[in-house]
Amino acid sequence: MLGTIFLLALRSIRRHMLRSFLTILGIVIGVGAVVAMTTLGKATTAAVQQQIAALGTNVLQIRPGQGFGRGGGGPRPPDFDPADVTAIAQQIAGVTAVAPQAQSTATAIYEGANWSTTINGTTSDYFKVQPWPLASGRQFTPAEEAAGKAVCIIGNTVRSNLFRGGQAVGLRFRIGNVSCDVIGVLSTRGQAGFGGDQDDVVIMPINAVQRRFTGSTDVRLMLVGVDQAYSTSQVQASITDLLRERRRITDGREDNFNIFDTKQISDTLTGTTTLLTGIVTAVAAISLVVGGIGIMNIMLVSVTERTREIGIRLAIGAVANEVLLQFLVESIVLSCLGGVIGLLLAQVVIAVATPLMQVPWTFDVQINVVAFIISGLIGVVFGYFPARRAASLNPIDALRHE
């Protein structure tokens, strides 16, 4: 019997093409909006997570002072010394590596081109605590590090500005008063989201930077890699205790350094994008409900308009349930059709929007399946009332209906 009903419903939809199209427009837009919004939301979240993963998850950044800025007045909190680095590396459980950094700025010159950039003195541990592969060349050798040789690994921005995008490894340029050999070029990392262009950097052994640029053995910043098996917050607490002791901070006084957990930022940003996605999806879902009400309205009008037809069907011998099912199947087929068109529309929107939003293109099977099922359910829910009305018509009155 269901096959029969299906046939009747399809015939009826085919007979009223324009009306059918107008009926499903709401569902098309609703499903399209929901799927596009949730998919783009997920893509944005993924992109944010990816950016943060580039900073290195399970990485703690330790700086002197409170928060990001120096803030307030008072004496400048002291930098760290190399012994702090060793202490953290050796005394704290769960620490995989500690990369000290000494920073300076200088102008780099190569064959008439000059470029002002950041000099970052560190050790090869820098590349252990965070994933930042080289595009070409090599890292420092232990001998170069120990001797503080003037060898450089340059960021891509420096390469394109100083070497005009050409091959840089093996060339020698001047930075400040130092003549430096390029031994490697970093892969492109892009904007950090906060903190500007990460590729505008020249990395040298920390000993070289301390001796030739900063003039002290102070360490400006430490990057601490944390073993996956350990909780970063626990490691963070242990480091805090250790540093307070080493920096002789008495109980009751505030830390004069801060430890920044990239995982926290990741969680916060992910939470924010998820919330925003939820809100936008909720708005889209409302449009889906409105679309369902649209289906109900048109189906009710359709029942009234087709009263005579229903009378004929009843006179011919259709039982009430067959009429009910026909209208119900009609509305389900319509809303599912609307759902499918909506899904296609969403794919178009996603294909257009992802490059504009600079997020990766994604296809989420789950979202699409759920949206399709919901469109079918809308057909059931909003089609039932009109269908029952049709089925309960009195055949004599229906046949007389003008």
Partner 1 sequence: MVASDPDPLIRLRGVTKVYGEGATAFQALKGVDLDIQRGDFVAVMGPSGSGKSTTMNILGCLDVPSGGTFLFKGRPVEALDRDQRALLRRKYLGFVFQGFNLLARTSALENVELPLVYRGDDKTARREAALAALDKVGLKDWWDHTPAELSGGQQQRVAIARAIVTNPDVLLADEPTGNLDSERSVEIMQLLTSLNRDAGITVLMVTHEPDMAAFAHTIVHFKDGLVDRIEAGQGAGAPA
Q: Which is nearer to partner 1, 350 or 393 (CB)?
A: 393
Q: Which is nearer to partner 1, 247 or 401 (CB)?
A: 401
Q: Report the nearest approach of partner 1 to the CB of residue 390 (Å).
A: 14
Q: Report the nearest approach of partner 1 to the CB of residue 386 (Å).
A: 19
Q: Which is nearer to partner 1, 9 or 201 (CB)?
A: 9
> Measured in Å, how far apart are the chain's first and last C-alpha atoms?
30
Q: Helix-strand-coil percent breakdown of the chain, rounded to 5?
A: 55, 20, 25
Indicate left, alpha or beta for 165 from its phi (over 0: left) and psi (-120 to 50: alpha). Answer: left
Phi first, then psi, for residue 271 (nearest 5°) are -60, -40
Q: Report the nearest approach of partner 1 to the CB of residue 1 (Å).
A: 6
Selection from 102, 104, 58, 67 nearest residue 84 by Cα: 102
Q: Report the nearest approach of partner 1 to the CB of residue 377 (Å).
A: 27
Q: Report the nearest approach of partner 1 to the CB of residue 391 (Å).
A: 10
Q: Which is nearer to partner 1, 140 or 327 (CB)?
A: 327
The DSSP letter of residue 214 is: I
Q: Report the nearest approach of partner 1 to the CB of residue 30 (Å).
A: 29
| Strand segments (E) across 206-246 | 221-226
Q: Which is nearer to partner 1, 197 or 309 (CB)?
A: 309
Q: Which is nearer to partner 1, 12 or 101 (CB)?
A: 12
Neighbours of 64 (CB within 10 A): 21
Q: Which is nearer to partner 1, 89 or 318 (CB)?
A: 318
User: How does 157-188 read in b/e, with b if 16+ C-beta sit within 10 Å?
Assistant: bbbbbbbeeeebbebebebeebebebbbbbee
Residue with tokens 């704290």: 92
Site residues (vs partner 1, CB under 8 A): 1, 4, 7-8, 11, 15-16, 308-309, 311-322, 395-396, 399
Q: Report the nearest approach of partner 1 to the CB of residue 13 (Å).
A: 12
Phi first, then psi, for residue 174 (nearest 5°) are -100, 135
Q: Which tokens is 23 given?
A: 């009926």
